[in-house]
Amino acid sequence: MNQPSFFVFPRWANRFTKIALVCVLLLPVYVVALLYYGANARTLNVGYQPVQPVAYSHALHAGTLGISCLYCHSDVARAAFAAIPPTQTCMNCHQMIAPQSRSLQLVRDSYGTGNPKLAGLPIAWKKVNMLPDYVYFNHAAHVHAGISCLVCHGHVNEMTQVYQARPLNMAWCLSCHRHPEPYLRPRNEVTNLNWTPKNKPRLAQDLGLTVATLPKNLGKYLMGRYHIANAKILTDCETCHR
């Protein structure tokens, strides 16, 4: 008597051996791709916080010491890129302040007063916020429109180590471009991350008005005063993809 047929693998099952083999061969490719895209800053999102070569703290410098963002990121108001300050900017203070500190060793190396092999080489700061190359972005346009660093970077003045605070994806950009009014503030308060519209005398001063003549709707008023483009232009594909 023949064996019952369910003990015998049907002939098509042989194909699985080949498929399994192909899978095993492709596994390394898959793992490499996963690591590449997973570790690529562009695809990492909110909370991305690379460890920086120097333990520089915004909470100390921009928070406690109250150094203006513009002292180090002076290009934000002028250029598309905000730029990380050169070592010279750090040494303006650190030639005198904590000159022997071990945590400033790489700063001195870069400046030329440490390891001579590293003299003149910039500090290898890791980029935190990053858009894909096919997206056009411009800091100056936003700073001039009265959009604070706070809206896009969070409370940097309280961060010991900077992290990405917002998603920076297309939906996020568009949600503001459709309706920017609530995010607008006087231009000269853009780098003041603790600004509040509730301080009426200061607001009046910022705008060159009196408390009595302050507009009821600040956002609407600034849309006109800063000549902000309408939502049709701001949501046009050409604005961000050129």
- Site residues for ligand HEC, 61-100, by CB under 6 A, read 61-62, 65, 67, 69, 71-73, 76, 81-85, 89-90, 92-94, 97-98
d(CA 241, CA 132): 11
Size of the residue set binding ligand HEC (CB under 6 A):
75
Burial of 41 per CB tally in 10 Å (0-12, 13-18, 19+): middle
Smallest distance, ligand HEC to C-beta of residue 202, A: 18
Q: Phi and psi of 12, rounded to 5°?
A: -65, -15
Among 118, 137, 204, 214, binds ligand HEC (CB under 6 A): 137
Nearest approach in angstroms of CB 212 to ligand HEC is 28
Q: Does 115 bind ligand HEC (CB under 6 A)?
A: no
Task: Give the pair of three-digit tokens for residue 79.
Answer: 């250029």
Query: Using CA atoms, how far apart are residues 22 and 29, in angstroms rounded to an integer?
Result: 11
Residues 41/127, Cβ–Cβ less than 8 Å: yes
Segment lying near ligand HEC (by CB under 6 A), choices 8-16, 194-202, 209-217, 231-239: 231-239
Residues 32-61 that bind ligand HEC (CB under 6 A): 52, 54-56, 58, 60-61
Between 49 and 210, name the residue whose CB sits nearer to ligand HEC: 49
- Radius of gyration for the chain, computed over Cα atoms and rounded to the nearest angstrom: 27
| 8 A C-beta contact, residue 143 and residue 81 | no
Q: Which two tokens stand for residue 181?
A: 């009014």
* Out of 48, 191, 195, 206, the residue judged to bind ligand HEC by CB under 6 A: 191
Nearer to ligand HEC among residue 162 and residue 218 (C-beta): 162
| CB 53 to ligand HEC: min, Å | 9
Q: How far apart are CA 228 and CA 180, in angstroms?
A: 9
Give the residue with the Cβ less far from ligand HEC, 120 or 201: 120
